[in-house]
Amino acid sequence: GIIKRIPMHEMTAAEFRQVIDIDLNGPFIVSKAVIPSMIKKGRGKIINICSMMSELGRETVSAYAAAKGGLKMLTRNIASEYGEYNIQCNGIGPGYIATPQTAPLREKQADGSRHPFDAFIVAKTPAARWGTPEDLMGPAVFLASEASDFVNGHVLYVDGGILAYIGKQPQ
């Protein structure tokens, strides 16, 4: 997927559509392509990479949040429409993951302090850290396995608890 961190009032319709095309239309096209063979087999697993931004709003990510919210609902609708064929469609909702894409947000400042966004995320995450790509492996294996055969239309948030946390009480 992609994200364009642009204030909504500055984003062009073409930039908005590009995010929707990649983050929402792409999974739709892939699912549409694989569902017929899954119906023939009498089983299948689709795992969409949603995001905790399918649940939250934040400045500069309107297109991304709209796409991921749409993907959450596409996931639920695929589960609803094709569950009778033993097809499970679920999502993984990563929180903030340490990847090359997020590296600029985690860079140390010239004075050695944390980047302000890095400090914000660590403070808002009960795990007090960014996730790693490895943190997503177990949930993906679970959703791809027979252990999840009765799990359908669910988004498994892998976010270190950020969606459950209101933050520390001021001292």
Indicate which residues carry an active-site annotation.
64
CA triplet 141, 83, 145: central angle to 5 degrees? 15
Question: Are 23 and 68 spatial neighbours (Cβ–Cβ below 8 Å)?
Answer: yes
Handedness of CA 26, 31, 32, 33 (dihedral sign): positive
Question: Are 125 and 96 spatial neighbours (Cβ–Cβ below 8 Å)?
Answer: yes
**Cα Rg of the chain, angstroms:** 18
> Which pair of tokens denotes residue 88?
């499970």
Q: How many CB atoms lie within 10 A of CB 166?
A: 6
